[in-house]
Structure 1
Amino acid sequence: MTEPPSDERKRIREQKRQKLQQRLENGGELSADDRTATPSEPISIEGRDHFDDVVDEHDVVLVDCYADWCGPCQMLEPTVEALAEETDAAVAKIDVDRHQRLAQQLGAQGVPTLVLYADGQPVERMVGAQGKGQLVRLIDQYT
């Protein structure tokens, strides 16, 4: 039987806390076992539970709230794909038409909306197409 989502999140957060403590005790270095591999492609979010799992699993997550009909979203797509491949952040995509409630909960009032999560918390929110360099610098602040 699987744990309820809130218990699973608590367990994952405790593991992250312990790894961070070990990292601090080792002078800031992560061992190979402590590094969480980030996907090299954007993760298509399939609902709130999936979103929560992705944010809990990865230290830094860039969330792209998009719509297929949105021109700026289409312009941003190659940048989002490159960020997934080239940075240490996980990149998640939320189709605002399929997941309206989740997009609203994330504060997406326009598309594209990008929300950066660090250690499970939203730390930055941007609306509109953003440049790759700007997004890389922002991600680098938290990785």
Structure 2
Amino acid sequence: MSDSLEDERAQIREQKKRELQQRLENGGELGADEPATTTPSEPISIKGQSHFEEVINAHTVVLVDCYADWCGPCQMLEPTIEALAEESDAAVAKVDVDQHQVLAQQLGAQGVPTLVLYADGEPVERTVGAQTKGQLEGLIERHSSQQ
């Protein structure tokens, strides 16, 4: 990874820390001039490498679902992925491995479904195969609480 990208990520982390500190000092409320950052309540369909990087950098915790339309376990996991997007503090991104083969390879998706959890722009957990909602909530909570 290039030094400039590392520097940019470090700056983003520092900005998020300052925003959180300010929020805590204001009794948990955002200041009037501070925009609220919201996590999408629906999965984000990734359109390419640059879109993927934007999503990873825009959200503190992101669960990335590498899937294929023809994959039975992926289809079984779909309602769980949608529920996590709606109910959790994490952003949920979906990468179609057939449409984005290079990106899927970079994510280490050798089988589908592969789920990669990012925290502060870095991959921190990887699972292969269908997971229960509870397992995925646990992963998200563990890394959300470390923020």
SS of equivalent to 1:122: strand
2-side partners of 1:11 and 1:22: how far apart?
Answer: 17
**Count of residue pairs brought into register by the alignment:** 138
Tell me the TM-score normalised to structure 2 length.
Answer: 0.83
1-side partners of 2:137 and 2:39: how far apart?
Answer: 15
Q: Percent identity?
A: 63
User: Could you list the runs of 5+ residues in structure 2 that have no partner in the other structure?
Assistant: none
CA contact (8 A) 1:61 1:117 kept: yes
Matched residue, 1:73: 74
Please report the RMSD computed on the Cα atoms of aligned residues, expressed in angstroms: 2.6
Q: Relative to structure 1, is the Cα distance of residues 70 and 60 closer, same or farther in structure 2, using a 3 angstrom cutoff?
A: same
Matched residue, 1:19: 16
CA contact (8 A) 1:23 1:30 kept: no
Query: How far did 1:114 drift?
Result: 0.1
Query: Is 21-30 or 110-119 further displaced after alignment?
Result: 21-30
User: Could you list the runs of 5+ residues in structure 1 that have no partner in the other structure?
Assistant: 1-5
Q: Relative to structure 1, is the Cα distance of residues 9 and 34 closer, same or farther in structure 2, using a 3 angstrom cutoff?
A: farther
Runs of 4+ deviating beyond 6 Å: 6-9
Query: Is 35-44 or 72-81 further displaced after alignment?
Result: 35-44
1-side partners of 2:37 and 2:4: how far apart?
Answer: 20
SS of equivalent to 1:125: strand
1:54-87 alpha-carbon deviations (Å, 9 max, x no partner): 0000000000000000000000000000000000
CA contact (8 A) 1:62 1:116 kept: yes
SS of equivalent to 1:108: coil
1:84 is aligned to 2:85? yes
CA contact (8 A) 2:56 2:118 kept: yes
1-side partners of 2:138 and 2:29: how far apart?
Answer: 22
Equivalent position amino acid for 1:23 in 2:
L
